[in-house]
Structure 1
Amino acid sequence: MNKLTLRENELLYLLLSQKEYQAAKFFSEQLSVSNKTIYSDLEQIQHYLVENELKIDRVPRKGLYLIGPPEAKERLKGVLQQETISVLEDEVYSPAYRQLIMISAILLDEKKVTYDEYAELFLVSKQSIKKDMDEVLGYLRTSGLKELTNRCLSPLEKETMIQKVYKKYLISYNKKYHSHAGNTQNNDLTFLNEIFNQKIIDQVNSFIEKTMIHTGKMLNDYFVYSLKLSLIIFLTRLKAGHHVEEQNEFVFKDLQKMQLYMVALSFSEEMNQELQCIFYKNDLQYLCSLLLAHGVVPGISDMHIDETIRKTTQTLMNEMTHLLDVKVDNDEQLYHALIAHIMPMIHRLKNDIYVRNPLKDNIKEQYTTMFMLTQFAATVFEKDYKLFLNEDEVSFLTIHFQIAFEKVQSTKHVLIVCGNGLATSELIYNRIKQNLPASVIVEIATERQLKENPIDDIDLIIAAIPLEIEDIPVLHVSALPTAAEVSMIATYLSNLSENEKTFTYSKEINAGSLNPFIQQELIFLNQHLERKDEVLHFLIEQYQALGLVNEFFEESMFQREVLGNTSLTSGVALPHAAPETIKETKLSFMTVQKPIMWGANQIQLIITLAIAEKDMGIAKDLVSILYDMIGSEESVRKIVQCKTSKELINCLERRGR
């Protein structure tokens, strides 16, 4: 098939796409030419129509319509899409094409080309080149980029902004010269090979096609087109050594995109092998954002799933439904997301392959109860596969369950913003946290984050600095909130979550409810122990002597410590074992004379969470109560100061009221 000019190609594609007669004016307006030019182009495309058993029917006062077998139309459409029409006569010599090459040199390649070199390349005068460059620089000045120096980007420019500006320009250009590019998923964007490496284009086309098959979700045509452009630009810049800056987003936003982390990680490994692209942490998180924004979901639809994995996944969901007292066991999207994560996770763990979750510490701090309950439920992998999940793997699973949980109930998001740094924000957080419904997620944010991120999903801002924000309520408090201010915040937070299912313990349950699980023989105050292993051996011996655990309890306790840090920054450690190793639920409390290192933290209070399988239904309540009591250094210090068992129990009861 001989080449058409770009305009003739577009006219033919428009004719093939119409479902009814259209006036010549319709086509002339679409292609920005005169009616006379349209009729001239129609003559030029006649031989294509004849070859494909098609002809143009012209009816006065109705217009033009392409008649012929539907299969012939579809066949010709396919031929047009496969044709490489990247640089045809009316495009290559246009000022727009010259300007595209110029802006690509500035934003994509960051290379400086002289006016003489451009003039020689395009066979035009330097005056024409200067006019083109002035238009390019004028566009860039209004695009939001920092001021260019000698047609070079500022070294302080954000990588995400560079990619955003270039993509916007490319979409505008394609709309004029390749208007059908975003209308079909089969368009492989080969017309971009004048600008981009063809291998990058091929890799991106292949990835998106495989991802849609793999996840079982087809993306709409424009999303496919947009994602292709984003990934091609991203990989081109990455291959040239340009990495994305830290996104500085709110954690609850990070949580949503991080469910796609494994998809991004797999893509990065493939691109490293095929294109020698090196991905940093920020690049992976940005890639997650791109995938989420374009509707990609985790899941597996094209692979055989082992029946044991199916049963283990469903058991995990059933256990979390039991622990949360919220139905997540029939969530189909959660099921597919978990399957997609668990299959490679089992392979990783069996082969000692370690994958770090960059949000692990944030998840442990801000979604503490969900993390702990997921850790309890994850013992199913010990039973079915003899595998112990480390904290990174637990935190990945936590992401999926938290997202599923938030679909069942409307979780509220609250920001604490101060002008004096994070220390002041943490002071406010510690003052209000005991009055915090667990359906309310609180995040400490900086002024910079507030300015740089959309806040549409924020329900309340607590601020110790003057803020004027429309449409979102702001509670202004002092850096050290008074009792009246704490009461005001508590009332507002209570109203936020009123009449909604809360992820916390029942109002009937208070610290007194811990009493059945506390006994004098498991309270050890002011102990002279200096190392973590000494403490663990001592506690294990006490539980064994009382007949509360089975022979696997010791191994499980130490295994938990190997898999991750069980201490909190407030100065408390929470060692625990798998529920099936515990015969009867009992908590132990120990204080030590001098702080000891426990993982990453200095601690003086050790609380053993020994919860039996039969009591997992109240695990959420116990964990919630304990975290309310020990969340701040001040709370822990009061418990550590207790001299007798009775004083400690009284202290716990006061903290729980």
Structure 2
Amino acid sequence: MEHYQDSKKRRIMILKRILDSEHLSYQQLSDEYYVSRSSIANDIAYVKNVFAKERLSLTFDNSGTYFEGSEIQIQRVLKRTILNHINELEIINGLIDTSLLNEINSAFHQAIIEKQFEIPESYFQSIVVSILLIVQRTDKRHEINLKGKNQYGKYFLEFNKYPLVYELLKKLEEKNIYQFSPEEVQYLTYVIVGSGLKFFIKSENIPFSFRGKVRHLIQKISEGIQIDLTQDSRLEEDLLVHLYQLILRIEAQTTIVNPLIEEIKQNYPAIYGVVWFALNDFYRTYGMNLSDDEIGFVAIHFQAAVERIKRLNKILFVCPNGIGTSSYVSAKIRRILPDIDSIETASIEKIKKMDLSDVDFIISTVDIPSQEKPIVRISPMVTARDMKRIMNYYIDLIIENEQSSRDNRIVTEKTKTFISNHVYFDNFSSKKDALEFLINRHLFNSEDRKRKFIHSVFERESLQSTYLDNGFAIPHGNPEFVDETAISILVLDKPIQWALQKVDIIVLLMIREEDVKQVESVMKLIMQGIEDKNWFISKMMEVKE
């Protein structure tokens, strides 16, 4: 047995052996790889995390750790692992035939170019890896079984596109890479159409009822982040196609790895949290579980919409040389800063009497006496150096504003007041006990409404786990049975089992539909807590006191 002192390679090899149906004990692995049991424990923790990302879990018995699952589930785990290391092929060369990967990549890329299709790079890689796994594993008699998956058809409207997908795959057949069976073409059709090929699904062909659901989702998230995005037609059209294709991806049990997921969570915690909360409801009717990766992709659509409506308040231009010069300089500024809402011109005398609270910075052709607002000094002719100075200041201001909003890791007084009477430190042995404890802390107008709310909470958990990340779970029930909006936070002494994960912080959301705007500050707090749990717990202790 090779020593595998490199932990990355060793972890990938252990994952492969588990997927190959081996039962592996810590002592056995420690002996075989010549490393300590604690190193093996870390390796198994890594493997468990990969499975958990796909909402799958490992099984343990006296013979060791192993996995029982379908071929589709195995390929999902392999696909995620490969995509996570797609630029480190030496790490995963035990999982894939790299020469075969290059062949498929080249042939499929050529087919895409010939058909003039548009597809994002990350989605292209996802499709190529899906094809690779079909080819590689079928050769070893590991075949995908689509029996019982005929429900795809109810979502896949343009089934006449099936021949076009086959034409893409035919390029691989012509190069003698592989001959696809009808069932494999069917499976890859759902993978490809669900992977960002707008050519296959056009927004006008998506049912109007689905458009209505997307509009409701945009409205709900707009209320949650307290920014109105309901008039952004681009957001609606982009989401319409993306969310419809997302159904196909989930139905096909395929994976697209989001390479920006950690940055999205860290830089846009409120957006991510509110989108997570809203999508939990959106896809609940389909009985589907969403991965962090998929939620991150949707969050980016919303963040892009927010960026489109972001503007600096106002630039004040101070110039004593008359209206001609003022118009000239304003035109030059608008050329380099087209997104500015307002450029107002003022004299030095006028500026002394003005309310500058909505002014971001001042551009001036003359020296101005001491002024609280930042000033960019330029010449009346606005030289190239002046334009660079204005542009650099504008960029620095945007970065500073975004950085300050990200670094503003505080619990607002409003949020403290809202949760202060509902923060608990306790110990429970089960999810059921913890949830009933939290729900019983609140008043309902009737026992019947309370019973229905409790049922809705547990029903949601049975359809889709509300585990978020890093030991946080965010259970919530039907707002129809909530009489008073409230949020309860339970910090546990010891973690409890929550579906496939361990949870030690439970945040129960009881939000009426009309109070959905309360979600943003709480979700931002939760996302910051996920990043730094110790900070979150210390803040909850302060709030409780």
Using the size of structure 2 for normalisation, the TM-score is: 0.45
More contact order relative to length (CA 8 Å, sep ≥ 6): 2
- Quick check: which has more Rg, 1 or 2? 1
